[in-house]
């Protein structure tokens, strides 16, 4: 196996990516995900905002490129309607974020460092979708955190632990609609902020999401992501806390 990995590393990146995409497709077929992907659909005028999140767009040397990349990605995500039982896949929606697709260099964490990468900045879009999914009770099929926390408490624009990094072919964000109604993600991009919202025809139960941070003895930050619903019920990984029930969604370690 080590020799095979060494041989694969010698292949051109485009070849390795193609192999990885085929491997993912094979896994999806085996797991039954193929055929369940969200697709473009129609919505009626009675759809309303169910939950929303607004984040600042920080000024950096790549701000305009990031804004451009976000708008391209949004243009691929917004037309999708996620029916009950279907799965939203960030990369199946957005596609390859390359120069040929119109994407520009933006900041991204590569090998634990901030570097300019074509398509950089899309992680803010995937992070917003992840947060919204948690708030309306979607099931997290796949989500990856960044390897490092590059922000301080003063510069942070989203709670630590609410991120969802995406790497085309390798790391995806996937959410399953386990609700009884279709949902759709919509966005508004302004000069210094972006607002993401979940739309649906029927009123959804919205949850409180808490990101609980602790610091290990070696200085690494650990985040327990908890989703709370203040109604009766319970079972499995859900337990009572006062008049609320809590469900641990993720345990994330940074650094």
* Direct distance between the N- and C-terminal alpha carbons of the chain, in angstroms, rounded to an integer: 28
pLDDT at 5: 67
Q: What is the mean pLDDT of the chain?
A: 90
Q: Are 176 and 87 in contact (CB under 8 A)?
A: yes
pLDDT at 227: 94
Domain match, 40 and 87 both: yes
Q: Helix or strand or coil: residue 160?
A: coil
pLDDT at 240: 45
CA dihedral 97, 6, 15, 120 (to 10 degrees): 10
Domain match, 117 and 148 both: yes
Q: How far apart are CA 98 and CA 137, in angstroms?
A: 32
Domain match, 81 and 143 both: yes
pLDDT at 238: 46
pLDDT at 244: 64
> Which of 142-146, 210-214, 239-243 is predicted least confidently?
239-243
Q: Which ranges constitute the DSSP H helices of 40-150?
A: 63-77, 90-94, 122-136
pLDDT (tens digit, 9 = 90+) per residue, 150-186?
Answer: 888 888 999 999 999 999 999 999 999 999 999 999 9
Domain match, 64 and 130 both: yes
Residues in Cβ contact with 52 at an 8 Å cutoff, skipping those fewer than 6 apart: 132, 195, 196, 197, 198
Residue 254 is inside which H or E element, if any?
strand 244-254
Domain match, 117 and 177 both: yes
Q: Is residue 52 part of a domain?
A: yes
Which of the four pLDDT bands, split at 50, 70 and 90, describes residue 109? confident
Q: Is residue 11 part of a domain?
A: yes
Domain match, 122 and 71 both: yes
Q: Is residue 81 part of a domain?
A: yes
Buried b (16+ CB within 10 A) or exposed e, 214-241: eeeeeeebbbbbbbebeeeeeeeeeeee
Q: Is residue 176 part of a domain?
A: yes
Residues in Cβ contact with 50 at an 8 Å cutoff, skipping those fewer than 6 apart: 136, 183, 197, 198, 199, 200, 203, 204, 206
Domain match, 127 and 9 both: no
Q: How far apart are CA 170 and CA 185, in angstroms?
A: 23
Domain match, 7 and 84 both: no
Residues in Cβ contact with 7 at an 8 Å cutoff, skipping those fewer than 6 apart: none
CA angle at 156 for the pair 151 and 162, rounded to the nearest 5°: 95
Domain match, 14 and 93 both: no
Residue 247 has pLDDT above 80, yes or no: yes
Domain match, 22 and 86 both: no
Pairwise pLDDT comparison (254 vs 2), residue with the higher score = 254
Domain that holds residue 118: 35-204
Q: How far apart are CA 35 and CA 203, in angstroms?
A: 27
Tokens 């941070």 correspond to 213
Report pTM.
Answer: 0.90
Average pLDDT over residues 109-113: 77
Domain match, 93 and 198 both: yes
The conformation of residue 98, written as its DSSP 8-state character, comes to S
Domain match, 27 and 109 both: no
């Amino acid at each position: 196996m080590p020799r095979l990995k060494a041989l694969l590393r010698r292949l051109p990146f485009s070849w390795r990516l193609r192999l990885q995409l085929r491997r993912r497709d094979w896994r999806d077929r085996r797991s039954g995900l193929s055929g369940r992907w969200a697709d473009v659909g129609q919505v009626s005028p009675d759809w309303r905002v169910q939950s929303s999140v607004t984040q600042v767009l920080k000024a950096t040397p790549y701000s305009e490129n990031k804004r451009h990349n976000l708008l391209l990605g949004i243009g691929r995500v917004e037309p999708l309607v996620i029916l009950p039982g279907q799965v939203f896949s960030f990369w199946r929606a957005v596609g390859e974020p390359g120069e040929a697709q119109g994407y520009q260099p933006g900041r991204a964490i590569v090998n634990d460092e901030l570097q300019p990468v074509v398509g950089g900045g899309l992680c803010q879009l995937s992070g917003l979708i992840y947060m919204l999914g948690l708030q309306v009770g979607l099931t997290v099929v796949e989500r990856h955190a960044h390897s490092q926390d590059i922000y301080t408490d003063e510069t942070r624009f989203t709670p630590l632990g609410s991120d969802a990094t995406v790497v085309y072919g390798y790391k995806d964000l996937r959410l399953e609609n386990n609700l009884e109604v279709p949902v759709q993600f919509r966005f508004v991009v302004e000069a210094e902020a972006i607002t993401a919202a979940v739309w649906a025809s029927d009123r959804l139960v919205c949850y409180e999401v808490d990101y609980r941070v602790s610091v290990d003895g070696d200085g690494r930050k650990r985040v327990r992501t908890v989703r709370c619903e203040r109604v009766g019920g319970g079972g499995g990984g859900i337990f009572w806390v006062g008049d609320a029930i809590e469900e641990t969604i993720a345990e994330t370690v940074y650094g």
